Structures are given as C-alpha cells and as structure tokens.
Amino acid sequence: MSDRTKYLLDEKDLPEVWYNIAADFSEPMPPVLHPGTGEPIGPADLAPLFPMALIQQEVSTERYIDIPGEVLSIYRQWRPSPLFRARRLEKALDTPARIYYKYEGVSPAGSHKPNTAVAQAYYNKAEGITKLSTETGAGQWGSALAMACAFFEMECKVFMVRVSYDQKPYRRGLIESYGAKVTASPSEETNAGRAILQHDPDCRGSLGIAISEAVEVAATNEDTKYALGSVLNHVLLHQSVIGEECLKQFELADDYPDIVIGCTGGGSNFAGLAFPFIGRKLRGEQDVRVIAVEPTACPTLTKGPYAYDFGDTAHLTPLVKMHTLGSTFVPPGIHAGGLRYHGMAPLVSYVCEKGLAEATAIHQLEAFAAGIQFARTEGILPAPEANHAVCTAINEALKCKEAGEDKAIVFNLSGHGHFDIQSYMDYLAGKLHDYEYPEHEIAMALAGLPSVAQKANA
C-alpha cells in the first residue's frame, strides 16, 4: 500500500472505452414499455427524441463501447480526474479505515455531468441535430449541457425547475454565459407547463414537470432532440469512465476498496463509480460492498416500490421498471436539488433489486454536517448532493473504528459546492431543518402508478 495522498493518471491512461454493465447480467433487463399499449418499444419509438447512436447504446449488451476521439480530446481537459486519500479526515475521525475519494469537481462545470453532456452533444451533432432541449434541477446538468453545446456550436434550451431558478441565480447565470436559453418550469411555452400552471399558478416545479416540457419541445420540433442528464442507460454508460479510471488508480495505490459509495439522484454518478467495480464482482474477479445514498426527503430506493412508471409528470415518456415514488410526487425543497427525482435509473434499481448494492437514506442536516467536516479537513466544499456520500463514508469509517477494522472506503465526490454557498450559509445560521419522510404524499403519488403496466408490475 502506498503512502501517497493523490493518485493521478497520465493523459495516456485515460480509458478509451466505456463499460456497459448490461453485458455482465445473466438475464436481460425488464423491457421498456409503450405507455399506450403496454408492449415493449423498439428503437423507432425513441427516434423523435434521441439520435440513433444513443438509442443503440441504450439497448446495447456489448461490454465495452469505444469513446469517440473528439469526446476523448475534450475529456482530456480535466480527465483523468484525481483520486485522493482523505488523510486529514481519517486523522480527525481517528479511524483505521482508509478513505479515498474520486473528485469530479475538477470539470469546468464543477461536477461529473460533463462526462455525458459532451458525449450526447457529440452524437447529436454527428446526426445533424442543431438544438438540444433539456431540464435542470439544481442547475448542474443545465450548465454541463450548455457548455457541451457551446463546444459543438449547437443551440441549447433549458427548462429550469422554478424553485432553483429563483434560488440559484448564479447557476442560471453560468448556463446563460455558455449561451443557452433558460426558462423557469412550469412555463407558458408548452402544453405540459400550461396545464400545470392552470391548476396551480404558484407551482414550484419539479424535475418530472421540467422533463415533460423539454420532451415536448423535442418531440414537436424537427431540428431539436432531447438530452437527459441521468437515469438512462447511455448516460450511466458515459459516466463509467469515472470507475474505469478509479480501478487503475487503486492499482497505483496498491489497494482495493472494500466499500464503494455514491449519492443517488437519478443514479448516474453512483453508477459511474460503482458499475466497473460491480462488473468485476459479477465476473467473479473481486468482491466489493456497494452503497447508494439518498435523502430521506426523497427516498426512492429505500421506500419506493420496484415498478413500471413514467419518467415525467405529463406522461410523455415510455414506461421503465425502476424504484419510484410516483411520477406526480413533488419532493420537499431540500438543498440537494440534484437528488430530488421521483424515479431512479433502471440499471441502478435492478442492481439494488439483485442485491449487488444496498441503499441507505440520510437526513439533510447530517449531510451538511459531514460536508462541513470534510471542508475543514480536506479543503474541498462538496456539492450538497455529494454530502450524502461524504456522510456515509464517515459513518462507515466510524464503524471500522468501533470494530477495529482497517477497511478501504471510496466515495464519489460528484461535484464542488461553490454555487451552493447560500445553502451552507443557511445551514450555518441554523435555518435548515430535516424533512420527515412524506408518507402521505408518496402514497398519493403511488396510487397513480400507470394501469397499463399493471400486468407487468404483477
């Protein structure tokens, strides 16, 4: 084991393929269903929304898929990202555990999201698309896609959840600086938005509503396609570069993680780090324990059933089998905006269903407390989303201390919190509080699970 603090790979060691976990499952994933017929959909059904190259990746069972040269050359601006050993945090915790973190905040937009934004813009451009529409919650995805569209000289339209639009003007400013157009969602610009506003003029919005608006714009404009920042198989595929690098960095460290941890909103940064490790486990090469962490206020994996549901509120998307809180669920306004989605990536849901990963939920205040401890020991102020992973890593390291076990723990530090200072100031001023699990609202949202899929859900 090495005594270094930082494990950097050479540019030439940047992985040149993405890893597709579907290749290592012994049975196929449950199919995606047409919302009208309840029958499995084909590539043609997705063609109005996505370029063919991404649809092919969505259904691929190839283990490795080449990363295009143009995408690699953009990745090289900030990749390979560093793997750090959190030595000062270990010391503060007085734990025998070795804590590592993979830092994705080094990308220009400050999170892991450019890993897929750049790839998606590339494939759309290659098929002649000139404009992408999307949604953003906390603003991380909107800024990543806006940057990628600027690189490929494409237009970008971002529906930003109303509550973030009002609370996070700096993220909005970043998106606009990259040249994208931002609209608060729900908006008057789409049927989906108008329908919601008619019913509730003060609606704070949700990712599910913003997705409906962005999908509608793509479906009704020939030159426009839709881009999603998480959840879909091809997004998780692109994020696998994180875990692929991390495997090489653990070789440099002459170590291997006993525990791999990621926070989960739609599941992409978690999958990006964890899937290459789970793949090794599936192939019988090396065992590992994997933990997905979510907020108690939006407990998709820990409280939501594994069932067919829509990805959006207006029910424009196909039905996918996933852990869900119901497509009409509007989560409480916690500050980890990127973790407020009613569903979860089908691949992450499946991996949890099969016992290849476990899920846990933590409260907002303990997450912020962990983020503050991390900032004071390691210097990096994490994104509020990433605090969920930080907190779980600390909890596991403290368990190691109690048990006298010297385990290796790695977590994904999915982004920095430099645009989330207001939430840290609110936390430090004692203005934040924990939300109880909104049982009643979730029950109401779950009562509306699509009936067309009842047979498939049974």
Ligand X SMILES: *Cc1c(COP(=O)(O)O)cnc(C)c1O
Residues in contact with ligand X, shown as a per-residue x/- string from 158 to 197 under the rule CB under 6 A: ----------------------------------------
- Of 187 and 414, nearer to ligand X (C-beta) is 414
Structure tokens at 276: 């290459």
Sheet strand arrangement including 155-161:
181-185, 155-161, 131-136, 224-226
Q: Note whether 140 binds ligand X by CB under 6 A.
A: yes
- CB of 301 vs ligand X, minimal distance in Å: 11
Q: Note whether 212 binds ligand X by CB under 6 A.
A: no
User: Residue 305: helix, strand or coil by DSSP?
Assistant: coil
The angle, 0 to 180 degrees and rounded to 10, between the axes of the packed helices 169-177 and 140-151 is: 10
| Cis before 68? omega within 30 | no
Give the C-alpha separation, 458 to 453, whole Å: 9
Q: Note whether 268 binds ligand X by CB under 6 A.
A: yes
Q: Note whether 367 binds ligand X by CB under 6 A.
A: no
Q: Note whether 115 binds ligand X by CB under 6 A.
A: no
Q: Note whether 360 binds ligand X by CB under 6 A.
A: no
- Of 80 and 338, nearer to ligand X (C-beta) is 338
User: Dihedral, CA atoms, 212, 216, 118, 55, nearest 10 degrees?
Assistant: 100
Q: Note whether 313 binds ligand X by CB under 6 A.
A: no
Enumerate residues 6+ apart whose C-beta is below 8 A from 430: none
Q: Note whether 320 binds ligand X by CB under 6 A.
A: no
- CB of 271 vs ligand X, minimal distance in Å: 8
Q: What DSSP state is assigned to residue 163?
A: H
Q: Which of 383, 400, 410, 449 binds ligand X (CB under 6 A)?
A: 383
- Residues touching ligand X: how many (CB under 6 A)? 20
Handedness of CA 302, 387, 412, 251 (dihedral sign): negative
Q: Which of 95, 111, 249, 387 binds ligand X (CB under 6 A)?
A: 111
H/E segment holding residue 362: strand 358-362
- CB of 321 vs ligand X, minimal distance in Å: 18
In order, the DSSP letters of 368-400 are HHHHHHHHHHH---B-TTTHHHHHHHHHHHHHH
Q: Which of 193, 267, 276, 304 binds ligand X (CB under 6 A)?
A: 267
Residues in contact with ligand X, shown as a per-residue x/- string from 270 to 299 under the rule CB under 6 A: x-----------------------------
- Of 385 and 396, nearer to ligand X (C-beta) is 385
Among 148, 147, 171, 149, which residue's Cα sits nearest to residue 160? 171
- CB of 317 vs ligand X, minimal distance in Å: 16
- Of 80 and 417, nearer to ligand X (C-beta) is 417
Q: Note whether 134 binds ligand X by CB under 6 A.
A: no
CA 422 vs CA 171, 313, 427: distances in Å: 12, 29, 9
Among 259, 265, 260, which residue's Cα sits nearest to residue 113? 265
Is residue 203 within 8 Å of residue 196, measured between CB atoms?
Answer: yes
Question: Strands 259-263, 289-295: parallel, antiparallel or unpaired by DSSP?
Answer: parallel
Q: Which of 295, 343, 415, 438 binds ligand X (CB under 6 A)?
A: 415
- Of 266 and 279, nearer to ligand X (C-beta) is 266
- Of 306 and 450, nearer to ligand X (C-beta) is 306
Stretch that binds ligand X, among 42-50, 69-77, 381-389, 442-450 (CB under 6 A): 381-389
Q: Note whether 370 binds ligand X by CB under 6 A.
A: no
Stretch that binds ligand X, among 59-67, 274-282, 378-386, 393-401 (CB under 6 A): 378-386
- CB of 334 vs ligand X, minimal distance in Å: 13
- CB of 81 vs ligand X, minimal distance in Å: 13
- Of 263 and 319, nearer to ligand X (C-beta) is 263
* CA atoms within 13 A of residue 421's CA, in its CB half-sphere: 5
Stretch that binds ligand X, among 46-54, 199-207, 266-274, 369-377 (CB under 6 A): 266-274
Q: What DSSP state is assigned to residue 415?
A: B
- CB of 415 vs ligand X, minimal distance in Å: 3
User: Residue 79: helix, strand or coil by DSSP?
Assistant: coil
Residue 232, exposed/middle/buried by CB under 10 A (0-12, 13-18, 19+)?
buried
Q: Which of 114, 208, 266, 295 binds ligand X (CB under 6 A)?
A: 266
Q: Which of residues 224-253 bind ligand X (CB under 6 A)?
A: 230
Structure tokens at 30: 């449950």
Interface residue list for ligand X (CB under 6 A) = 111, 113, 140-141, 230, 263-270, 338-339, 383, 385-386, 414-415
